[in-house]
Amino acid sequence: MSYTTQLPSYTELAEALQKMQSEFEPAQVHGLLCGFICGTSGELSAKWEKLITGSKKNQKTHVLLQELYETSYHQLSEFSFEFSLLLPDDETDINARTESLGLWCQGFLAGLQQANVKIENREPSEMTEALDDIIEIAQVSYGNISENDDDESAYFELLEYVRLAVLMIYHELKGDNLPADTDQEDLSH
């Protein structure tokens, strides 16, 4: 099965979801897919797509979601540092980007739950700490964030933390060990 190495654009997915009158934002959809992939080790199921599209069928949206799923699965399973979160571009207002990061995390947690992964009251571990942090980020407050270097820097640190945490969570749930050259310090505070 071939797959593209790049995720569809945020705008392209937003337009497809809007045409379907979906209640989901693109960041939520990608988070949901990634959570589902992590929780099922990528086991292909139509369950994730039904969560997003409900009973509405649209071939173009199906193809786009399938591309998003396959690319995300391969990036996660290959522990690819190309793995990225589908979020608005860097020129978008920082408040909107922060909101989208929170929505991505909400979707991720929902995807894990749909895959029957227990996300709360787990035994202490690095993965539990990462999940607790993602739960906090999912509740992020936005709206009064300034467009300044400190806030931009904080946003990118959170984004990078979530990205690396998701890679670690995927491999922990799958039962893989992280590659020896992975810096565990990057995943902890």
- Examine the pLDDT at 1 and tell me if it is beyond 50: no
**Mean pLDDT, residues 38-42:** 85
- What are the residue boundaries of the structural domains of the chain, listed by start? 10-187
124-175 confidence digits (pLDDT tens): 889 899 999 999 999 987 777 777 888 889 999 999 999 999 999 999 998 7
Query: What pLDDT is recorded for position 23?
Result: 87
Closest CA to 89 of 2, 178, 14: 14
Global confidence as pTM: 0.85
67 pLDDT more than 80: yes
pLDDT in tens, 74-123: 999 888 788 999 999 999 999 999 999 999 999 999 999 988 888 877 78
The yes/no answer on whether domain 10-187 falls in CATH 3.40.50.300 is no
- Dihedral class, residue 79 (left if φ above 0, else alpha if ψ from -120 to 50, else beta): left
